[in-house]
Amino acid sequence: MPARRIHFTGRRRLTTQDVRISLYNEAVPLAFEIPHFSLKRHDLPGDALVRVEAYRQSTYMPFDLGTVANVRLPGHLALTEFNTPDAIRFRVKVTSVAEATDGQLLAVGDRIRPAWVDGGQESLLPVRPASLDQEVFRLDLEDEPVLLINDKIDRWRDVSRDEHFVALVYPMVLRAILTHIVPDNMPDAEESDDWRFMWLRFAKTHPGISDPPDDDKGGDDLSAGDWIDAVVAEFCKRHHTYDTFARRWDSEDDL
């Protein structure tokens, strides 16, 4: 059976007002459920097909939920393709089956961040092992920020928590992420669950940091580059990154 072609004309945008997803982050295998799902405000055709997709980078699992008029919301849905809960995201698609618009994407919700059910909280910067040859780490910004650590390293997750690794790497990572967002990739005001909004909110937790500029003209206000410099500087002050590095450097000189 040939794959159905998807058309994107005039699609509605689904938000957490329409769908919320819960992730059983300590289950084996991992599993999720959909405690809230309502498409009433979008006035979609009853026979349109509904699908939810779990994904993380190249890993992907689709789940058919029936039609708009008869949505099936089973209990736990197993995520057998995923071995860790970090950075799992969900996408909801509603597609037409009407003859004139067959395959048209009528509504979509993307990058849906699930709520963790079994305790804990997903890190703002998920860390995952990856085949990186001679690279120790890499920041992946293809979808949303993920810090990749060379999977040849024993206790690779501990590397990301090492204070000396944090001192050298995390200021650069923060700068790269904010440069990716400001000023040309800013989230909409209502996208409070968007990863970009969360990083901007994190930036503003630092002393003296206000909203970022929405352009790079500078003038009386900070330019985007100046604003990012200020955030990174305050991050380094908070974590004493120079002092941490200097202690390691000085201790090695004494050997």
135-158 pLDDT, tens digit per residue, is: 999 999 988 899 999 999 999 989
Q: Where are the alpha helices (DSSP H) in the chain?
A: 156-159, 163-181, 195-203, 224-239, 241-253
**pLDDT exceeds cutoff 60 at 5:** no
**Cα 222 to Cα 228: distance, rounded to the nearest angstrom:** 9
Residue 171 lies in a domain: yes
Residue 140 lies in a domain: no
Dist. CA 201–CA 193, nearest whole Å: 11
Residues 105, 19 share a domain: yes
More confident: 128 or 7: 128
CA-based angle 115:106:143, to the nearest 5? 45
pLDDT tens-digit map of 25-46: 999 999 999 999 999 999 999 9
CATH at residue 63? 2.60.40
The CA–CA distances, whole Å, from 33 to 71, 114, 150, 192 equal 13, 9, 32, 21
Cα end-to-end span (Å), the chain: 69
Among the three residues 89, 116, 143, which one is the final residue of a domain in this structure? 116
Residue 179 lies in a domain: yes
Digit-coded pLDDT (tens) for 165-219: 999 999 999 999 999 999 999 988 766 778 999 999 999 999 999 999 987 655 4
Q: What is the pLDDT of residue 1?
A: 37
Residues 21, 111 share a domain: yes
The confidence score (pLDDT) of residue 232 equals 98
What digits encode the pLDDT tens for the residues 88-99?
999 999 999 987
The pLDDT score that the predictor gives to residue 217 is 56
pLDDT > 70? residue 4: no
Pairing of strands 12-13, 115-116: unpaired
In angstroms, the CA 12 to CA 6 distance is 14
Structural domain contains residue 131:
no
Sign of CA dihedral 97, 101, 102, 107: negative
Q: Does 96 share its domain with 166?
A: no
Beta strand pairing call for 146-150 and 127-130? parallel
The two counts, helices (H) then strands (E), for the chain are 5, 12
pLDDT of residue 191: 67
Whether residue 213 is preceded by a cis peptide bond, meaning omega within 30 degrees of 0, is no
Residue 36 lies in a domain: yes
In a domain, 5, yes or no: no
Q: Answer whether residue 157 is part of any domain.
A: no
Mean predicted confidence (pLDDT) in 91-115 = 90
Residues 112, 192, single domain; the answer is no
Q: Count structural domains, the chain.
A: 2
pLDDT reading at 239 higher than 90 = yes
Which residue segment(s) compose the domain that 236 sits in?
162-253
Summarised one tens digit per residue, pLDDT across range 118-134 is: 888 888 999 989 999 99
Alpha carbon distance 82, 80 (integer Å)? 6
Domain assignment present for 48: yes
